[in-house]
Chain A
Amino acid sequence: VSLVESGGGLVQPGGSLRLSCSASGFTFGAYSMHWVRQAPGKGLECVSTIGLSETKTYYADSVKGRFTISRDNSKKTLDLQMSSLRPGDTAIYFCVRGTFGDTSPYYFDDWGQGTLVTVSS
């Protein structure tokens, strides 16, 4: 299993950024996927989850209305479109594989190495 994130960088408050995750080594379309972030020196927060299709998406309250998760099962990619970014969104964003068939048991299975997003003027 390989999950490789890209797209991180420095962005000004109020700006936008699109993160991507390229997956390989497993049947991408058969797994739920997540974006989990970690602010510098802080704990983990699941900001968004997507089911096997784009009809099931979930967002943490902290990003609802500003972030959009999507997936392309044919390209084996997971994206996170982030807009109206705030300094509090500064974090490493991890692409994480969820569970097979989007069924229980529910947990975070495999993790990418993460991409750093810095929101600062």
Chain B
Amino acid sequence: QTVVTQEPSFSVSPGGTVTLTCGLSSGSVSTSYYPSWYQQTPGQAPRTLIYHTNTRSSGVPHRFSGSIVGSKAALTITGAQADDESTYYCVLYMGSGIWVFGGGTKVTVL
């Protein structure tokens, strides 16, 4: 059973930088898993932020960036704003139509 790991929560100050990670219970995350990131606020549908590791979706501010850091995929918010307060999900494509989401990271901006 493949488990995708994310930090449960993070707190960042307005204007600060935070890096969220997306790992595998066993093994390393690589670009071959096509890591992507989604932002969700309560009561809303998820919004696509980053796909294919580091490609920003249309209309996504440049303060959001994706990368591989060590053995994990990472989402960095540089210059956090109040409306970045959300839950962020990563997902990895395992092949053969199998997708595994992480449990989500709740980001608080204060």
Contact at A107–B45, with CB atoms within 8 Å? no
A114 and B101 contacting across the interface, CB-CB below 8 Å: no
Q: For the complex, what is the distance from the CA of A57 to the CA of B55, rounded to whole Å? A: 27
Q: Which residues of A contact B103 (CB under 8 A)?
A: 43
Indicate if the CB atoms of A44 and B91 lie closer than 8 Å: yes
Decide if B64 is an interface residue (CB 8 Å cutoff): no
Q: Is the CB of B45 within 8 A of A112?
A: yes
Show the binding face of B for A, using Cβ within 8 Å.
34, 36, 38, 45-48, 51-52, 55, 57, 89, 91, 93, 96-99, 101-104
Inter-chain CA distance A108–B45, complex, in Å, is 12
Ranked 6 nearest A-B pairs via Cβ: A58-B97, A105-B52, A107-B51, A107-B36, A46-B99, A106-B93
Instruction: List the B side residues contacting A44 at CB < 8 Å.
Output: 38, 46, 89, 91, 101, 104
A interface with B by C-beta (< 8 Å): 34, 36, 43-46, 49, 56-58, 94, 104-114
> CA–CA, A46 to B46, complex, Å?
13
Q: Is the CB of A105 within 8 A of B51?
A: yes
Query: Within the assembled complex, what's the spacing in Å between the Cα atoms of A106 and B96?
Result: 11
> Which chain A positions have C-beta within 8 A of B55?
105
